[in-house]
Structure 1
Amino acid sequence: MPHFRSYDDTELSYRVLDARDGTAAPPLVCLAGGPARDAAYLGSLGGLDGHRPLVLPDARGTGDSPTASDASDYAFPRLAEDVEALREHLGLERFALLAHDAGTAVAQAYAAAHGERLSHLVLLNPGARLQGELPDDAREIFESRRDEPWWPDAAAALRQLAEVSDLDEVRELLLRVAPMAYARWDEAQQSHAHAEAGQLNPVPRAGFWQGVDESARRALLARLSEPDCPVLVVTGALDAVTGLRAGELVANSFRNATLHTLPGVGHYPWVDEPETLCPLVEDFLTTPGA
């Protein structure tokens, strides 16, 4: 695993998936969500490495990156500074950045602080906690699927999740509620979901949203209107985790954003419909940037 030194001299790890067609297209840096889930769950993002290299960093306390000595280093604005250190290490003047789920908060913090370094920004299935809202349409999507065979057990497990703190119990319950994150509960979806328990990192997860007060949040949001780079926000019509409204709020935070909702797709579009996601993202990345 290659490593890079961040702003505080910590060595962090990353993986590179070379372009399968051998082209020399610019790389796409990809941030995992969770928060604090190992980047392994991204895989190749359904084949996005077909035409360009993918760079997948392990955030602090995940994958092969070390834990932090100070919990504040897990806060998403600090993680954005790790992304800037990675950019410098890779020697990229400007680059394209993709993020999923909670990783979109890191990507937005990066755009606010270093927007001039971005050529394109892709935000997959974002939440809107950074925007100060927690839309409830994800719950409505979940309720609309109550006729599916997995739904009764998932609903019972979802109620129990709010009442348990033991990590082993949490992991067991997360697997039971996992079908709500996918459009289908087929073999590919089940295999992806079963890997989640071993990819969770509770201490970095707990620090992700810490240390960012209301004034800092508002200041960060105000700066999101400054970057010139095009932004693509992707949501899934069957995403019962973050829903659709959050994507609208995130897209509205930028001045040059396009919102695209994929039908028949849940929270992991590269698992549900890679043949739809990959051309969408690749077409976006090949359009002129900022």
Structure 2
Amino acid sequence: MTTFTGPDGARLGYRVLGGGEPLLVLAGGPMRDSAYLGDLGGLSAHRALHVLDLRGTGRSERPADPAGYRVDRQVADVEAFRARLGLDRVDVLAHSAGCSLAVLYALRHPGRTGRLVLVTPSLRIFGGTATEDHYREAAEARGPADEEWYPAALAAVRTAFAGGTADPAAVAPLFHGRWDAAARAHEADCAAQSHPEAAAAYHGGGFRPAEVRAAVAELASPVLLLAGEYDPDPRPGTARAAAALFRDARTAVQPAAGHYPWLDDPAAFSRTVAAFLSH
């Protein structure tokens, strides 16, 4: 792990995995420790992954003011990271809520942004939200409901959309293509890697969805939105609709994958992303 000084003097951490042309990587969560990304299913064999720890996660310092966790405030950290790497222009990959930060960075620094990969992106930056129907559609896409976790997962979804408090552990299987040992281990680490205060502040202001939707239509950077066939948020259809907002974007849907497609089929994931980045 290496650190550098952010624009306000805060120490920010990052790690480098693999070799070759750099790829700047932003974690989701929001504000989850970037360790959950691993090496993105072996993508480090194709590119050098420069994985930033967002403020208050991993080795990066917490801001004195919680408003420093806001996604728009962290754009300056990403630009400082690019400068730290000595790159005039950088390709960026982000996951889930980290895609909001990647999009705002690309809009604020279009001349510094190369290709942009948005993996199972949060659509809040565009004003989109998942619905109960999206969760049901994702569950039904799996086929027969014969897994033991399925009834509890759908019950938790109903509770959440009715305004109640759902058990995150019950919903978790819906975000994985397979609820196997690897997926269970990945979810077991979630609580320790999460930062609730930062997560609550992350999407707390600093952008207007209508303005973002208009601005991305002028963004020159090529964009890939990678969705999982079984992911409830975003569904493949909503990912395609988001791609249509961009000037130059395409959608890839990874079969039988959830919200963490590099876990469900590492080879398919790394192959899709590497092919897009190499064009």
Residues 105-144 of structure 1: pairs in structure 2 closer than 5 A? 105-136=100-131, 137-144=133-140
User: Structure 2: where are the runs of 5+ without partners?
Assistant: none
> Shift of the alpha carbon at 1:116?
1.4
Contact 2:231 2:257 in 1 (8 A): yes
Per-residue deviation, residues 99-138 of structure 1 (Å, max 9, x unmatched)? 0100000001011101211121000001221111224353
Distance 1:101 1:119 in 2: 19
CA RMSD of aligned residues (A): 1.8
> How many Å apart are 1:159 and its aligned residue?
4.8
- Say yes or no: does 1:205 pair with 2:204: no
2:147 match = 148
* Superposition pairs of residues 184-263 of structure 1, within 5 angstroms: 184-212=178-206, 216-263=208-255
TM-score in terms of structure 1 length:
0.88
Question: Any gaps of 5 or more consecutive residues in structure 1?
Answer: 20-24, 165-169
Distance 2:139 2:51 in 1: 34
Q: Partner residue of 1:15? A: 15
Q: Which amino acid aligns with 2:188?
A: H
Q: Distance in 2 between matches of 1:80 and 1:210?
A: 14
Matched with 2:267 is 275
Given that residues 138 and 235 in structure 2 are in contact (C-alpha distance below 8 angstroms), is that contact kept between their aligned partners in structure 1?
no
CA distance in 1, matches of 2:213, 2:73: 16
Contact 1:127 1:246 in 2 (8 A): no
Q: Distance in 2 between matches of 1:221 and 1:116?
A: 19
Residue pair 2:75, 2:101 contacting (<8 A) in 1 also: yes
TM-score calculated relative to the size of structure 2: 0.91
The secondary structure found in structure 2 opposite 1:66 is coil
Alignment-derived partner of residue 22 in structure 2: 27
Look up the SS of the partner of 1:107 in the other structure: helix
- Distance in 1 of aligned mates of 2:68 and 2:238: 26
Task: Work out which of the residue numbers 36, 50, 72 in structure 2 matches 1:77.
Answer: 72
- Tell me: CA distance 1:73–1:196, structure 2 relative to 1, closer, same or farther (3 Å): same
Separation in 2, partners of 1:140, 1:177: 12
In the TM superposition, residue 188 of structure 1 has moved relative to its aligned partner by: 1.5
Alpha-carbon shift at residue 143 of structure 1 (Å): 4.1
Q: How many positions carry a matched residue from both structures?
A: 273
